[in-house]
Chain A
């Protein structure tokens, strides 16, 4: 019986830049940053209140896993903003939006009340996008 998701990937273009984005801007916690040889490292982070989920900041570069053509195609698609990486929840979407915006995070959609709840969309430093939603997204009047 499957119990939970423990490790998943976010494909990134530059690990140093991704570290800065996820740790310093989003406030994720660094789990592992382990050198694995020249120009390669095992880099994982966790959402602040979800320590048992490791997100691997997985570099897309020419390697055993990614032949040149695959790497180039994948990088192009990431930069185009094709990949949505999931929903991140927060206690207060307006405060989180203002804070991330102040830190330079690029929003492709500010908080908007949709029929399914309030949602904002932002991009990471590579081009992957996330949906940002409040924890209780059915309470549309949940503001200060």
Chain B
């Protein structure tokens, strides 16, 4: 069995293309019917195959990608409202609700926690590096890199 003749290679390629389409176009209003049409599947067949490969329906996967991307955008310094629209949500309340349900923190608390961690990293970077690595690199010879005390 080689790469070109494993079972149902054409099905795999279509489903993977659909997944990559979602990865790239998560911020757009994605119509899953259109994706299944482009993949030459019936909607039902497409959803079943997608779920069997990725463990999520295409819609569940789209939500997952949007939430993952929103974490990245928050870390890049965008406000919660900006992130909401950057990842394709039309309502701030539905974005915040889904984010909280999936991540376990509201977007604003997630952002606050991240900023606090960054502040600690900037103040005492060596507190985040195993001591053996710091020693091997000679990083702890720099007096600015002291262990965090708080």
Binding site for B on A (CB under 8 A): 7, 32, 34-37, 40, 42, 56, 63-65, 91-92, 94-95, 97-99, 102, 107, 110-113, 118, 143-144
Per-position binary interface string of chain B over residues 52-67, scored 1 when its CB falls under 8 Å from any chain A CB and 0 otherwise: 1111000000000000
A34 in contact with B55 given A94-B12, A144-B8 (CB within 8 Å): no
Q: Which one of A32, A40, A112 lies within 8 Å of B1 (CB-CB)? A: A112
Q: How large is the interface on B (under 10, 10 to 19, 20 to 34, 35 or more residues)?
A: 20 to 34
Rounded to whole angstroms, the CA-CA distance of A102 and B55 in the bound complex is 21
Instruction: Decide: B52 and A97 in contact? CB cutoff 8 A.
Output: no
Does any Cβ of A come within 8 Å of B143's Cβ?
no
Q: Which residues of A contact B8 (CB under 8 A)?
A: 143-144
A35 touches B125 (CB 8 A): yes
Instruction: Tell me whether A102 and B20 are in contact (CB under 8 A).
Output: yes
Beta-carbon contact of A144 and B1 below 8 Å: no
Assembly CA distance A113 to B63 (angstroms): 35
Interface hits, B1-30 → A, CB 8 Å:
1-4, 6-9, 11-13, 15-17, 19-20
Chain B interface (Cβ < 8 Å from any Cβ of A): 1-4, 6-9, 11-13, 15-17, 19-20, 49, 52-55, 121, 125, 128-130, 133, 136-139, 142, 145
Closest to A140 in B: B1
Return the 9 tightest CB-CB contacts between A and B, nearest first: A110-B3, A98-B16, A64-B138, A95-B53, A143-B7, A92-B53, A34-B125, A113-B1, A94-B12
A144 CB contacts on chain B under 8 angstroms: 8, 11-12, 15, 49, 52-53
Contact status A64-B137, CB under 8 Å: yes
CB-contact partner of A111 in B3, B13, B19, B20, under 8 A: B3
Pairs across A and B, CB under 8 Å, 26 listed: A7-B133, A32-B121, A32-B128, A34-B121, A36-B137, A40-B139, A42-B125, A42-B129, A42-B133, A64-B136, A64-B137, A64-B138, A65-B137, A92-B54, A94-B9, A95-B16, A95-B19, A98-B12, A99-B19, A102-B20, A107-B3, A110-B2, A112-B1, A113-B1, A144-B8, A144-B12
Q: How far is the CA of A91 from the CA of B136 in the complex (A)?
A: 37
Across-interface contacts of B130 in A (CB, < 8 A): 7
Query: Taking the nearest CB of chain A, how far is it from the CB of B70, in angstroms?
Result: 15
Give the residue name and chain of the A residue nearest to B3 (CB).
A110
Chain B residue nearest in CB terms to A48: B68
Q: Are A56 and B1 in contact (CB under 8 A)?
A: no
B138 touches A99 (CB 8 A): no
A30 vs B31: C-alpha distance when bound (angstroms): 31
Q: Separation in Å of the B97 CB from the closest CB of chain A?
A: 24
Looking at B2, B16, B125, B138, the one whose CB has the most chain A CB atoms below 10 A away is B16
Least CB distance, A4 to chain B, in whole angstroms:
14
